[in-house]
Amino acid sequence: MPAHATLAGVGSDARPSPDEQRRAFLQRSLLAEAVVELTVLDRAPQTEPGRDSAGAAVTIPRTRLRARVDEALGAGPLRRGEEIDLLLPGGLLTLPRDADGSARRDAPPRTVGAWVPASPQLRPGDRAVVLLDRWHGAWTPLDLRAGVLRIDAEAGLAVVDPPSRLDSEPARPVEVAAFPLDPLRRDLAARLAGPAVDSDPGVQSATAAFALTLSPDALPPFGCGDGGGNPIRWFEFERGQQVEVLARSGGQIGVPNGGLSQVEAAIGAWNNDAQSDVRLVYGGETELTLAIAGLDGRNSIAFEDPGDQIPGSYPQRVLIALTVVFFDCERLLSFAGGLAHPIVEFGIVTQDGVGSFFFGNQANPLSALGEVLGHEMGHGLGFAHPCSGTAADPCVGPENSALMRPILQGDRGAVLGSDDRAALAALYRAPVGPPPAAPSNLRLTASTTSSLSFEWNDESSGELGFEIESRSLAEPWEPLISAPAGATTATVNGLDAEPRLFRVRARSTGGLSAPSNQIAATPRFDIAPCVQDEHTLCLNRGRFLVRSSFSMPAPGGAAEPGEPASGELLTEDTGTFWFFSPSNVELVLKVVDACVPFGGYWVFGGALTDVETSILVVDTTSGETRTYFNPAATPFQPIQDTAAFSSCL
């Protein structure tokens, strides 16, 4: 979110009065290509192709609004009754899927929200006075939210958008400026026609609802549906993991040495709170071409807007920086403060022109950049402005010393205030007291083609809930769903036909418990004949489909992405798999018909390897699956599963 998108300008401690806001809006109208009153007719997600830092294709989320011009103010190119498209940054992504409908193995979460707090949240039916600019071949609000006044037709008011806010207090009303609509219309028309003549401003105040930084609650593809209305946060920290941040090589123009030291200062500001478990880490410089456009698996900072992600340029436009935060709309997980969507990535970019015309004119450019980056990094953690800095909603008391306040002070650097620390405590409070006892005896109880159901024994008391975690081959553990306190069952939906490991952990104010036992499982397959290919064996008269994958360790202790093993038949019920060459057999597996006299099929296997390996066996007559995992750096343990498949039909 732009750290300093205030109607009074950037870098000022002044708190604009409602009348000053109205005058600033009128003054900004002279920079607009068109000024209109409009009604939003439709809203649709839109994407643009882009490239990540490795040159791979990424999808850039946008939101397209279809609107009708109700009144054209001034001599712009638009006319009353004309329908136009407005393009806004951010939105929701529906990520690519394979032909069979399952998510790609390497794909991020399937539905991902791209949060751009600076973007106005206009919906069909909304009316607004909008200052229009051109961006990527379409219309867009000048300075995004700062170029929009919502129309309250019943009250005859034009209302300033309230800020999106996050603090430790419960929801409370926020006073925002509102202007009588008819005098505003006259003033806009007069200013756009020639010398400004202000009518009686008649400034009033209107009450808007305070909100945490919440996911949208509209139905997909515009929101998270029933999961909307919840905060967003990182869940890695409580699991002892770090979140890496990269910066574009060269840093910020107009700041000594590019100001890259201030990236570390901003990270340190959020890390150095004893009551918080935030652990950001600086990963160094990179040659990023796009920092915030699309999901590329990197949290990154770019300078001078290399991908044109912010409309216009400074000082003609007031935005200094912009942050986009991607969060998983489909997952809603518990933490000590309630429920939240996991953040999966964020990107920060400074506006082009700020180096020469803003930072270069500051008494202490390093300190100013540190404050901007610290503020934007706070958005990347899920925090929003605690106040708007206006006369109707001033930044007073602890809010006035907050790093997350929307008005730049310029000489404070990346230093947290007490209000910022209260926000940290709300989302990222460090564990207090001992963790709960680990659940035990996790077991699979049911499966469908897209879900798995589990049961476990609750060994703790006073827990706040449970987390069901999972990972696929070579991937880290991640939480999938939460279950309430006292629960001993849960169902994980939305799974694809990929072997995975599962475990469960209890949560309390003392943090997460040790994990339960692990079990390997795969959802059922649709009933279909087995088709043998390079990576698939069809055993026991073609009834059983068998596949295997493996992952090699990579430098630094990580793991290479999983690869499918190649299979060869030995006999009707036995096959082998090789990983590296056909002459180097790694795995032997057979499915034995033990229906007479034992009433089922058995699976036996052995291997000459210690790499991480998964094996999937599917009964194609029922879709039932059996999954086997061998951990990395562990000699393969023999498979002697005499209870694998009980159906002999």
Which residues, at least 6 apart from 413, have a Cβ–Cβ distance to it below 8 Å? 262, 265, 366, 367, 370, 371, 374
Give the pTM. Answer: 0.77
Q: C-alpha angle with apex 176: 135 to 233, nearest 5 degrees? A: 65
pLDDT of amino acid 296: 79
Residues 446 and 381 in one domain: no
Residues 444 and 423 in one domain: no
Domain boundary among 469, 493, 521: 521
pLDDT of amino acid 169: 35
Please give the structure tokens belonging to residue 261.
């030291």
Residues 400 and 448 in one domain: no
Show contacts of 48-55: CB within 8 Å, 24+ apart. Answer: 48/136, 48/293, 50/290, 50/293, 50/294, 50/307, 51/289, 51/290, 52/289, 52/290, 52/294, 52/296, 52/297, 52/298, 53/286, 53/287, 53/288, 53/289, 53/290, 53/296, 53/298, 53/300, 54/296
Residues 178 and 303 in one domain: yes
Q: In what order do the strands lie in the sheet with 601-607?
A: 566-569, 574-578, 585-593, 601-607, 639-645
Residue 2 lies in a domain: no
Task: Please give the tally of structural domains in the chain.
Answer: 3
Which residues, at least 6 apart from 347, have a Cβ–Cβ distance to it below 8 Å? 291, 292, 293, 299, 300, 301, 302, 323, 324
Radius of gyration of the chain (CA): 28
Residues 101 and 157 in one domain: yes
Please give the structure tokens belonging to residue 89.
């940054």
Q: How far is the CA of 31 from the CAs of 9, 195, 313, 648, in angstroms?
A: 14, 15, 12, 77
Residue 512 lies in a domain: yes
Residue 323 lies in a domain: yes
pLDDT of amino acid 208: 32
Residues 299 and 340 in one domain: yes
Residue 620 lies in a domain: yes
Helix %, strand %, coil % for the chain, to 5? Answer: 15, 40, 45
Residue 530 lies in a domain: no
HSE (side-chain half, CA atoms, 13 Å) at 316: 12
SS3 (DSSP) at 182: helix
Q: Are 403 and 384 in contact (CB under 8 A)?
A: no
Residues 48 and 147 in one domain: yes
Query: Which CATH number is 179's domain given?
Result: 3.40.390.10
Query: Which CATH number is 471's domain given?
Result: 2.60.40.10
Alpha-carbon distance 153 to 553, whole Å? 63
Residue 7 lies in a domain: no
Residue 433 lies in a domain: no
Residues 197 and 263 in one domain: yes
Low-confidence ranges of the chain (pLDDT < 70): 1-20, 51-56, 75, 94-110, 161-177, 191-223, 288-293, 389-393, 554-560
pLDDT of amino acid 625: 97
Residues 120 and 266 in one domain: yes
Alpha-carbon distance 274 to 297, whole Å? 28
pLDDT of amino acid 207: 33
Residues 330 and 450 in one domain: no
Domain boundary among 476, 494, 521: 521
Q: First-to-last CA distance in the chain?
A: 61
Tens digits of per-residue pLDDT, 537-556?
Answer: 999 999 999 999 999 876 65
Domain boundary among 489, 521, 553: 521
Residues 465 and 512 in one domain: yes
Note down the domain range covering 151.
Answer: 18-427
Kindly state the helix (H) or strand (E) to which residue 349 belongs, with its residue range: strand 338-350
HSE (side-chain half, CA atoms, 13 Å) at 398: 12
Residue 89 lies in a domain: yes
Residues 455 and 319 in one domain: no
